Amino acid sequence: MKKICVITATRAEYGLLYWLIKGLDEESTVQLQLIVTGMHLSPEFGLTWEKIEEDGFSITRKIEILLSSDSAVGISKSMGLAQISFAEAYEQLKPDIVIILGDRTEALVAANAALIANIPIAHIGGGEVTEGAYDDSIRHCITKMSHIHFTSTDIYRKRVIQLGENPKTVYNLGAIGLDNIKKLNLLARDSFEKSIKKKLLKRNLLITYHPVTLEKTSVSIQFQELLEALDELKNTLLIFTKPNSDENGRTIIQHIEEYVSSNQEKSIAFASLGQLRYLSAIPYMDAVVGNSSSGIYEAPIFNTPTINIGDRQKGRIMGPSIFNCRSIKKEIIKSLDLAFQYDKTAHWDHPYGQGNTSEQIMKVLIKVGIPSEPKKEFYDL
């Protein structure tokens, strides 16, 4: 049996990986190893490792790395602790391959430790560009450490090859997050309202805003511009989901909590809605607002418009339902007006596939096989 190790550090990441984890867990030729770390183990972010066990998965190893700081120094120290812990875990578990999704600092450390331990890496989400965050550099670094690549568009596949990866190892299989939309039984409107203990209003917005880590402008100033724009709206329910444990994330959390405390009739906040409630919300929203990748990937499937603020997602392929603006009040208001006029019955081809990515990744790992050694050659164009 091949020992396949999956890494998850956040609630959102786990939601994207759920169907792949489930498939590997049920595959008779695979021994699933599940390493849970980062935000999953933090009370501040909802102790979401409990959700993983509720879903019936056995956690192979918990790696505690999250320090009570969101400063650059604090995050770097957390990464140092993670490097030691992942090295020890790999030595004990001896996986045949490690599956890493995306571009967070935890993913970089997990890849670093696997590289040094001569363990092949399968990377999901390479070739993408997000110019506003250092996630962009992390993503490309993980690509160069990886041996099998699962990209979400053909353009992203070509970028991975441009980085020197052999085309035979690079698979364009679509965005893994769309699997949930295809496979989950989403909540009806009344069930969703009961789940959040709040009635939807005439207009409704789902808001997720993360720090833009490569910008010098204060995240507090940026987020205040968004709150002031939202405050102009009438008869509109504001559903906030709190940011990840990124640098200055706690600043945004504080702003959200203060705003909701003063505007309880028209706003509500969650550390985590979970995949089911989050995806169930999107069809009932007039727009998804902020700078989360979910506004690029998932919201367009429902043809719900997205207000994409700032440069955090700059460089990603975007459909016509996405309205870009700067973190300036008047521009956000203008984009909201455009979104409210958007024709949600319009039809267009989603650039990220239709949602069977996990099954295709399974087929590659099982039928094509896992590299017997981590050695690889640079592919020259």
Quote the pLDDT of residue 170. 97
Which residues of the chain fall below pLDDT 70?
67-68
Quote the pLDDT of residue 1. 87
Quote the pLDDT of residue 272. 83
Quote the pLDDT of residue 244. 76
CA distances from 204 to 194, 243, 297, 364 (A): 15, 19, 19, 41
DSSP assignments along 208-256, one per residue? E----TT--S-HHHHHHHHHHHHTT-SSEEEEEE---S-TTHHHHHHHH
Domains and CATH numbers, the chain: 2-177+355-368 (3.40.50.2000), 187-340 (3.40.50.2000)
Closest CA to 221 of 180, 271, 255: 255
Residues whose CB is less than 8 angstroms from the CB of residue 298 and which lie 6 or more positions away in sequence, other chains included: 177, 178, 180, 181, 279, 282
What 3-state DSSP class applies to 133? coil
Quote the pLDDT of residue 211. 84
What b/e string do you get for 260-270 counting C-beta neighbours within 10 Å, with b at 16 or more? Answer: eeeeeebbebe
Instruction: Tell me how far apart the alpha carbons of residues 67 and 306 are, in angstroms, rounded to a whole number.
Output: 33
Q: Is 378 left (phi over 0), alpha (psi -120 to 50) or beta?
A: beta
Quote the pLDDT of residue 152. 96
Quote the pLDDT of residue 72. 84
Structure confidence by residue, pLDDT tens digits, 171-227:
999 999 999 998 999 999 999 999 999 999 999 999 999 988 777 778 899 999 999
Instruction: Tell me how far apart the alpha carbons of residues 284 and 316 are, in angstroms, rounded to a whole number.
Output: 25
pTM, two decimal places? 0.89
Instruction: Tell me how far apart the alpha carbons of residues 113 and 119 are, in angstroms, rounded to a whole number.
Output: 9
Instruction: Tell me how far apart the alpha carbons of residues 273 and 4 are, in angstroms, rounded to a whole number.
Output: 29
Quote the pLDDT of residue 57. 97
Q: Which two tokens stand for residue 5?
A: 């190790």
CA distances from 39 to 90, 245, 251, 326, 378 (A): 20, 7, 17, 29, 35
